Amino acid sequence: MPAYGRPAAYAHLVLRILDARTGEAVPAAPARRGLTRVEARASGLDPTALRVLLTADVLVRALELSGTPVWTTLTAAHHHAGLRAAAATLSIRPFEDGRTLTPGLGEAQAIQVTAEDTDAVGEGPVVWVAPLEWTGEPLGAHTPDPAAPPAPQVPLDDPAALRLALLSVPRGEPVRLDCAALDEAAGRLARWRRAVAGWARQPSRPVPDEVRTRLRSAWEDDLDLPGVLDVLRDVETGTGPADGARFETYVYADRLLALDLARDLGSLA
């Protein structure tokens, strides 16, 4: 959970984020409804930039789940094509070009997502993302230009394992990943997909109200993604929900997580 916790006043499930400018928790979607722009600011083509883009993607998904219209942009000095390719690999939805912003779109708020300690521009909340360090084989591919930095490339058959590994750590904490950590994430992902495929064979049941509230309470609290994953682990191992409800719970949470948890449906004999 974030350091500032969840005051009782926030219990009505309004997405709040920790604004790096002020250190205060602020609404990600103001009461005056309108288009919210989420701007991912990447300083270069490196693993931390990939984490910035992933954080922006999850923020957009959380806002959309609350009914907020969102416009997502990417601002980077260089390597736009490489950043977009790396984002697509991690199931990060496409960004508009931040250099072609058109004023007067009726924005209610603009939120910047950027690497920790990066100077923000303009107004609005700023979401900082701590560094990502890859300690295994390089996360880059060979490039024809020796002077160009390598594009972040996921060294896995299933890139969703890297997405899961990153979602498992609060964005404000530095991450050091290696092949062992990614293998562990890949194993958990495979187990969950098998479980979802098995649960899908039973009659569907609604997501239990208590489980839905726990999920939303987690991600509405400054995008506490580890908290969301904890709820899924409890649903997996607990004795309460019927299998049909477990299935619907995982499918519902995957609208935020984008881990393709239902990929193996129909694959069980």
pLDDT tens digits, residue range 192-243?
999 999 999 999 999 999 999 999 999 999 999 999 999 999 999 988 899 9
Task: Band the pLDDT of 158: cuts 50, 70, 90.
Answer: confident
Q: What is the pLDDT of residue 92?
A: 95
* Residue range 78-100: mean pLDDT, rounded: 83
So where are the chain's domains?
8-257
Distance CA 226, CA 169 (A): 6
- Between CA 124 and CA 38, with CA 18 as vertex, the angle to 5 degrees is 45
Q: What is the pLDDT of residue 266?
A: 82
pLDDT tens digits, residue range 123-143?
889 999 999 988 765 444 334
* Residue range 3-18: mean pLDDT, rounded: 56
Give the type of residue at 111: I
* Number of Cβ atoms within 10 Å of the Cβ of 99: 10
* Number of Cβ atoms within 10 Å of the Cβ of 108: 16
- Between CA 57 and CA 64, with CA 59 as vertex, the angle to 5 degrees is 95
Task: Band the pLDDT of 99: cuts 50, 70, 90.
Answer: low
Task: Band the pLDDT of 7: cuts 50, 70, 90.
Answer: very low
pLDDT tens digits, residue range 23-51?
999 999 876 667 899 999 998 888 899 99
Question: Which pTM was predicted?
Answer: 0.86
Query: What does the CA dihedral 62, 108, 35, 103 come to, rounded to 10 degrees?
Result: -140
Q: Torsions phi, psi of 142, nearest 5?
A: -70, 140
- Between CA 257 and CA 203, with CA 266 as vertex, the angle to 5 degrees is 80
* Beta carbons of 252 and 83 less than 8 angstroms apart: no
From edge to edge, which strands make up the β-sheet containing 96-97?
Answer: 96-97, 70-76, 35-42, 107-115, 126-129
